[in-house]
Amino acid sequence: MKIPRNIIDDLISQARQDAPNETCGYLLGVSSEDGDIVTENYEMENIDHSPEHFSFNPKDQFAALKYARSKGLKILANWHSHPASPSRPSQEDIRLANDPSIRYAILSLHEGVHLNSFRIINGEIVEKEVHL
């Protein structure tokens, strides 16, 4: 999955603004012969307002899907921040990763800024990509 620098900058800005709580959203984009290309960050509310976990607002999820379809985009990844821990899925993240067709991206603000995405299938991390 390719994430342009301006989108990464948007994720960093959102994560810093919402810190110390986790923030979240969807990465929308297109699939091509060269792979998945992110074109937009669809920001969503973390209704848990917690520094250790997140939950999407269901209304935001529905709106994101409707928006993506109206623009001919796909939901390529679910993303959230880890304000005080590394860019790797927690046990809870792995347990809740129930869609094998998307990636799960984690932006860490811990010890620098790091962005990795993961494909998680049946509770197992089967692929990791480093984006920043």
Residues facing 71 on adjacent strands: none
Average pLDDT estimate for 109-123: 96
Cα 89 from Cα 72, distance rounded (Å): 29
Span 34-45, pLDDT tens digits: 899 999 999 999
Using a pLDDT cut of 70, give the percent of the chain over it.
100
Chain mean position to CA 81: 8
Tell me the mean pLDDT in the region 48-58.
94
**Is 114 a residue whose pLDDT tops 90?**
yes
Residue-wise pLDDT for 58-92, tens only, equals: 999 999 999 999 999 999 999 999 999 999 999 99
